[in-house]
Structure 1
Amino acid sequence: MRLGSLLVTALVAFAAPHSGSRCRSEDAAVRRDWGDLSADQRIEFIDALWCLRRTPSTLPHDQFPGVRDRYDDFVATHINYTLSIHSSGLLLPWHRHFTWLFEKALQDECGYTGSIPYWNWPLFTTNLSASPVFDGSNTSLSGDGYLDHSNHKAVPACPRNVACRQGTGGGCIMAGPFQDWPKNMGPVDRKYYQSYGTLPPDVFAYTPGCVKRDFSLAYLQTQNTAAFVDAMLNTTNIVDFLQYMDPSESYLSGAHGSGHRGLGGMMDDPFSSPQDPAFFVHHSMVDRVWTIWQDKDFVNRRDQLNGTTILFDPPGSPVVTLDTAMEWGYLDGPKRVVEVMDSRSGEYCYRYE
């Protein structure tokens, strides 16, 4: 169970203030719904993703043997911090900066001129394959995987608040720009997701294969609908907001987790989910909803935090404050949480449409 809001308020009151002023809205880069991008804009983003696959890695190979390119640098980094940055007080701030670092790599190293688009969850919860994000066309992020339930349980493990059914895929991505997209690490045995800080010794091993998907609309129809997102945005404190977005109780699911499980396959692996390019448009949407919620009462909500630095917020774990240090390994230097709480100050100057 997450910590109470009174404790959070006390922590915020004694934290160091933000530095710098907000950039003007008219000067901010704009992150848009994938469906609102032109065909050329979508293809530019797709080409930039493939560019990172052709760009050499910066991580040391002896420590990360599964890393084969610049894209994998981000996969390995996410794996390395998984047990701190999910179902905890770090989910939102850590992934905000992680997504921004990925956006900067696309721009600075691959000449991408746009911003990270987002997957607008509520628009296609009844037919994901009709979404321009996942329709399998050459301007999409590809669609479902081949039908392959040979290694699946009859009914996937489901949180208590989702009535799950078997997915419609299970195999490698069938069509579209990422049909031949490789995966070089993972998946990681889910038992390690309950270990409160212990990664398997071979977690960065080279395990070549394809990226799989297994669309399961039951998740999206429960946790990613317009009504669910509206209810999340109508909360007035971060404690309640996170109960919708990412509950710390392991037996519950929120919009964040259901988006991952709704796509299934590689996205359902908490460790190596960035192997699927859909990861970044999903997390752009997570950040969008958080940003909108903050902006509804920015003065009072900008610095609201809740949770600890450990997966599922176990008792006795360090409480996240604005002074908590976060790390991204070789991708960037450490930062305090206070430095990433506003999408339009410090290093950031972006907004959502």
Structure 2
Amino acid sequence: MLSALASTIILAAAASFAAALPTATADGASKCTTPEKRKSWHDVSESDKKAYLNAVKCVMTSPQKLNRLPGAKTRWDELVSLHQIHALQIHTTGQFLPYHRYYLKTLDFLLRECGLPKEVTLPYWDEPRDAGKFSKSPVFDKVLGFGGSGVGAQSCVMDGPFANLTVNIGPGFKTQPRCLNRKITDFLSSSCGASYVTSAISGSTYKQALDAIYSGPHLYGHMALSMMNGDSITSSGDPVFFLHHGFVDKMWADWQAKDLTKRLKDISGLNAQDPAVGFSEFSGGMEVESAMWGKPGQELLAVTPDPKSGDGGGTITLNHIMSSLGIIPNATVADVMDIKGGYLCYEYA
């Protein structure tokens, strides 16, 4: 039998864990009572940085589990493959902001699977603090960061905790192993400054905010980092991607907070790219863009979700169903609209 002391410790631990979970309301929905605080990497403690980096490395080296995503050899590959599979549905569409919010939740699950303690929350990058000088950011510290700009013809990251790691997904719609790489260009990061952020979230409708965030600080952040050879489809191979998209998610959350009652239901746009447009940051539409990264093959198409799932048409709705193909359960856009709505339970510090 357990000693009285051991029983007390177990009960206390169980109570602590339960307190951290969303609580059920009378109608069976969950309620966010104690939102976790997501901090900028600048403000994360040294011990929490180490725990986060170790968990990311664990995901990167853990064997894949789904056995259905082409080219995936690790759990990290599966995460990157999700972005590849959904690429034509989650860029230059109304899905962009909600899917990437759901994608961050998927990362959180994988990190917990690798032992990330509950008290260590997903970090983001407060990019305005480093605008114009990204390369000097603590994000790229060689010990308590993600390593710096890559070297050589392929810009492979050769320092920090992710030196010499391989990503098996990409480039584009291919599955050809390549080094984890990035190339930092400081002057491009100037467009992630505070005034640009203020402008990006100044619109009154979701469409205005979506377009301004996507084509503004989001796009310039990607250009300044050139993650995975600047590949829009598999840039999530670089773990810095998730700090950048934490920043993007914060911009959306800050925009929503300006008129929360109205904006928690404001969603619009296509649920898949217009072939004539493709990625808005490139010209010529899908056919021209396919010369850069090819087209999805039959293996990818076989696991690609129907972009109209939950909508009944080509326009995104709150009922739109988002999928991680089995890593975490599917969710609707409505589930992720409120970061403190129960399905999600966090706020930005």
Could you say which TM-score interval applies, normalised by the shorter chain? 0.7 to 0.9
Q: How many angstroms apart in 2 are the aligned matches of 1:314 and 1:41? A: 45
Give me the TM-score of the superposition, normalised by structure 1: 0.76
Instruction: Say which of 322, 327, 331 aligns to 2:318.
Output: 322
Q: Given the alignment of the two structures, is residue 23 of structure 1 paired with residue 7 of structure 2, yes or no? A: no
- The 5 Å alignment of 1:265-276 reads 265-266=227-228, 268-276=230-238
Give the residue type in structure 2 aligned to 1:86.
Answer: H
Q: How many angstroms apart in 2 are the aligned matches of 1:314 and 1:301? A: 29
Q: Given the alignment of the two structures, is residue 81 of structure 1 paired with residue 77 of structure 2, yes or no? A: no
Aligned to 1:55: 62
Structure 1 stretch displaced more, 85-94 or 317-326: 317-326
Q: Given the alignment of the two structures, is residue 146 of structure 1 paired with residue 115 of structure 2, yes or no? A: no
Question: What is the deviation of 1:254?
Answer: 2.3
Provide the identity percentage: 30
The residue matched to 2:117 in structure 1 has which SS? coil
Give the residue type in structure 1 aligned to 2:79.
Answer: F
The residue matched to 1:329 in structure 2 has which SS? coil
Aligned to 2:345: 349
How large is the RMSD of aligned CA atoms in angstroms?
2.3
Q: Which structure has the bigger radius of gyration? A: 2
Q: Given the alignment of the two structures, is residue 179 of structure 1 paired with residue 185 of structure 2, yes or no? A: no
* Structure 2: 5+ residue stretches without partners: 1-26, 278-312
Instruction: Say which of 216, 220, 232 aligns to 2:189.
Output: 220
Give the residue type in structure 2 aligned to 1:286.
Answer: V
- The 5 Å alignment of 1:48-127 reads 48-60=55-67, 63-113=68-118, 114-127=120-133
The structure-2 alpha-carbon separation of the partners of 1:265 and 1:337, relative to structure 1 and needing over 3 Å to count, comes to closer
The structure-2 alpha-carbon separation of the partners of 1:22 and 1:145, relative to structure 1 and needing over 3 Å to count, comes to same
Aligned to 2:282: none
Aligned to 1:208: 177
- The 5 Å alignment of 1:304-343 reads 304-311=266-273, 318-343=314-339
Q: How many angstroms apart in 2 are the aligned matches of 1:143 and 1:109? A: 25
Q: How many angstroms apart in 1 are the aligned matches of 2:122 and 2:140? A: 16
Q: How many angstroms apart in 2 are the aligned matches of 1:313 and 1:125? A: 34
- The 5 Å alignment of 1:232-271 reads 232-246=200-214, 253-266=215-228, 268-271=230-233
The residue matched to 1:138 in structure 2 has which SS? coil
Question: What is the deviation of 1:286?
Answer: 0.9
The structure-2 alpha-carbon separation of the partners of 1:267 and 1:112, relative to structure 1 and needing over 3 Å to count, comes to farther
Question: What is the deviation of 1:314?
Answer: 5.8
Q: How many angstroms apart in 1 are the aligned matches of 2:242 and 2:179? A: 18
Contact map agreement 2:30 2:343 (CA 8 A) in 1 = no
Q: How many angstroms apart in 2 are the aligned matches of 1:263 and 1:91? A: 19
Contact map agreement 1:52 1:110 (CA 8 A) in 2 = no
- How many residues are matched? 288
Instruction: Say which of 230, 242, 253 aligns to 1:280.
Output: 242
Q: Given the alignment of the two structures, is residue 300 of structure 1 paired with residue 262 of structure 2, yes or no? A: yes
Question: What is the deviation of 1:214?
Answer: 1.2
The residue matched to 1:213 in structure 2 has which SS? coil
The residue matched to 1:351 in structure 2 has which SS? strand
Question: What is the deviation of 1:336?
Answer: 2.2
Question: What is the deviation of 1:147?
Answer: 4.9
Q: How many angstroms apart in 2 are the aligned matches of 1:68 and 1:218? A: 36
The structure-2 alpha-carbon separation of the partners of 1:124 and 1:318, relative to structure 1 and needing over 3 Å to count, comes to same
Aligned to 2:21: none
